[in-house]
Structure 1
Amino acid sequence: MTVALPAADELTVAGRRMRCRISGGGPPVVLLHGIGRTLDDFTAQQELLAADHRVISVDLPGHGGSAPLDVPHTLPALAAAVADFLDTAGVTGPARLVGNSLGGAVAMRLAADQPHRVASLVLVNSAGFGKEVTVALRLLALRPLGRLLLRPHPAVARRTERAIFRDPAYVTEERIATALAVARQPHAARVMLELVRDLGTWRGVRPRWREDLLAAVAARDLPTLVVWGDRDLILPADHLVAARTRLPGARTHLFRDTGHMPQIERAAEFHALVTDFWAEAA
């Protein structure tokens, strides 16, 4: 198995390398992946959306092919780094943000901190709506167990991919190779542990940052779409109920027989849902 990240573009932001893909023309769309993941989780949507949009996906700092920050990796630090990246990419006006898992929380943090940058939010199985999270992430908060669990190994990568998708056909050798390439970056374990311990404990996701973030996002009253897969093993679909309560103006959708990444498992349906939402919000 060849262990390497798929080809992508690169920008230098504040002296640091950030792996990205930029394609298409039209209103800007920014795609943000989850914890320990890469922009490759949005490859299908990048291709579909580029017909009518300028689509920008990026590896968050310390993830994939992007260099780590010099400060601890926290939610506000990631959101600030995305803002700097957008400046470098020439996106200074409002963009349509799409975030999966941790990427959803990063998108919300950016909307709360710099609302002039955000035209709308699409939150995909997003972190921030509940305490419950897979035990695999909760165990990473335990010292020194976390670092041991993050040692790169093909069996671990395969098991992680299987937990993400409802349909095992999506657990391809290419995805496993990408996961291994990510895990073998010299800073990968440190970045992952900083984020996990900042956002949660072995008991689950910390309530304080969630409460503060959701209150700030609700106050912005941005057009928001929240979607979930009903078979998500990472962040349970019950969190969609909390999203309806905390963001009562948001549109919601539940994908049936779908795991943590409906943008992959339900690519065409996801694309249609999101573009219809944007058309209605315009």
Structure 2
Amino acid sequence: MTAVVPSAEARASVESVATVDGAELHYWTYYPAPRVGVEAPTLVMVHGFRGTHQGLELIAGNLPEFRVVSPDLPGFGLSPPMPALPHDVSGYAKVIADLIRQVSAGPVVLLGHSFGSIVAARIAAFEPELVSSLVLVNPLATPVPANGGPGRLGLRFASAYYRAAVAMPPRAGRFLLASKAFTLSMSAAMAVTRDRELRKDIHRRHLLHFSDFHDRAVLLQAFTAIASCGVCDYAADIHARTLLIAGDRDRMAPLAGARWLLPRLADGRLRTIDGVGHLVHYEKPAAAAALIRDFLATS
């Protein structure tokens, strides 16, 4: 059976726009069903490279007891690029930290997927008062290609690919980055499920949203950040309880990296989901949500 949960995906959300450091940030709030006398905890989600908030909607749908806030990072989805900050880990961390201050009166549960895991880790390290618990899904534990990630040859090829696209005339460069062939090749590399219907749904989602970027230069800045840093750069300064959720077949952020990272966290837990790769949020969202719920119940 497919792992997609239609009822969870259909969870209603409200779009809002915040002005953060001069940037227009679009974010979506998934409100929980009201429970008398109970204040719903706030969970802020940070999506990965070339993603949008929609990539994490299945996990949000499987956590109906939470108030979930999920933005499109600047330069992706509906959020335009930042006029004054770099589109790297520090720039994105500043914007998300300021968003947290606007949407919550106290610390939040902060979740980051893939590239978003580095952004979330930086916030937890440098602004710990904003984070009650940290959840890193498919975490990029170390700079690519350390700890078994994509090899240096692959990294050099990808870097050349993005740089060439930026150097091309706008129309040609955009076509290179957003082509259907490239999108489907990346989707196939990340999806490991043998469920044909689920693979088809993952490819559909990537075709819809993988190229929702505003600017080729923004894309190159974000890619360069992925290649130059990891959660490890902030691990020593993270004191919040941290849950690492890893896929045992993840080729982009291998399980070995998460295992290496775990003892470097002051209070970390590692949970592995079998038979899944770098797309935990698509392939096993209900399982990921259950792990998050159990982790927070023991906080």
TM-score by length of 2: 0.79
Please name the residue that 2:115 is paired with: 102
Q: 1:178 aligns with which of 177, 199, 208?
A: 208
**For structure 2, which runs of at least 5 residues remain unmatched after alignment?**
1-12, 33-39, 167-172
Aligned residue runs from structure 1 range 157-196, under 5 A: 157-167=183-193, 169-172=198-201, 174-179=204-209, 181-183=211-213, 185=214, 187=215, 189-196=216-223
Deviates more, 1:139-148 or 1:25-34: 139-148
Question: Residue 249 of structure 1: CA displacement?
Answer: 2.8
Question: d(CA) in 2 for partners of 1:24 and 1:138?
Answer: 43
Amino acid at match of 2:224: R
Question: Residue 134 of structure 1: CA displacement?
Answer: 3.0
Aligned residue runs from structure 1 range 84-163, under 5 A: 84-88=98-102, 90-129=103-142, 131-132=144-145, 133-134=149-150, 138-142=156-160, 144-145=163-164, 147=166, 151-163=177-189
Amino acid at match of 1:9: E
Question: d(CA) in 2 for partners of 1:261 and 1:212?
Answer: 23
1:141 alignment partner, SS class: helix
2:44 alignment partner, SS class: strand
1:97 alignment partner, SS class: strand
Question: d(CA) in 2 for partners of 1:251 and 1:144?
Answer: 37
Q: 1:18 aligns with which of 18, 21, 25?
A: 25
Question: d(CA) in 2 for partners of 1:139 and 1:248?
Answer: 36
Once the two structures are superposed, residues 190-248 of structure 1 have per-residue CA deviations (whole angstroms, 9 ceiling, x without a partner) of 11211222442xxxx45xx655412222xxx2111111111112122211211223126
Q: 2:41 aligns with which of 15, 21, 27?
A: 27
RMSD: 2.4
The answer to whether the Cα contact below 8 Å between 1:100 and 1:261 also exists between their aligned partners in 2 is no
Question: Residue 181 of structure 1: CA displacement?
Answer: 4.4
Question: d(CA) in 1 for partners of 2:210 and 2:280?
Answer: 22
Amino acid at match of 2:212: V
1:238 alignment partner, SS class: helix
Are 2:55 and 1:41 equivalent residues in the alignment? yes
Amino acid at match of 1:19: H
Tell me: CA distance 1:179–1:171, structure 2 relative to 1, closer, same or farther (3 Å): farther
Deviates more, 1:140-149 or 1:73-82: 140-149
Once the two structures are superposed, residues 139-186 of structure 1 have per-residue CA deviations (whole angstroms, 9 ceiling, x without a partner) of 343374353595210111111111222115334353133235415x3x
Q: 1:271 aligns with which of 289, 292, 299?
A: 289
Deviates more, 1:165-174 or 1:231-240: 165-174
Tell me: CA distance 1:31–1:72, structure 2 relative to 1, closer, same or farther (3 Å): same
Q: 1:231 aligns with which of 249, 267, 276?
A: 249
After TM superposition, which residue ranges in structure 1, 4 or more long, deviate above 4 angstroms?
135-138
Please name the residue that 2:271 is paired with: 253
Greater Rg over alpha carbons, structure: 2
Deviates more, 1:248-257 or 1:74-83: 248-257
The answer to whether the Cα contact below 8 Å between 1:29 and 1:97 also exists between their aligned partners in 2 is yes
Tell me: CA distance 1:104–1:144, structure 2 relative to 1, closer, same or farther (3 Å): closer
Question: d(CA) in 2 for partners of 1:8 and 1:31?
Answer: 15
The answer to whether the Cα contact below 8 Å between 2:50 and 2:211 also exists between their aligned partners in 1 is no
TM-score by length of 1: 0.83
Question: d(CA) in 2 for partners of 1:8 and 1:64?
Answer: 15
Question: d(CA) in 1 for partners of 2:180 and 2:31?
Answer: 35
1:34 alignment partner, SS class: coil
- Kindly, what percent of the aligned residue pairs are identical? 27
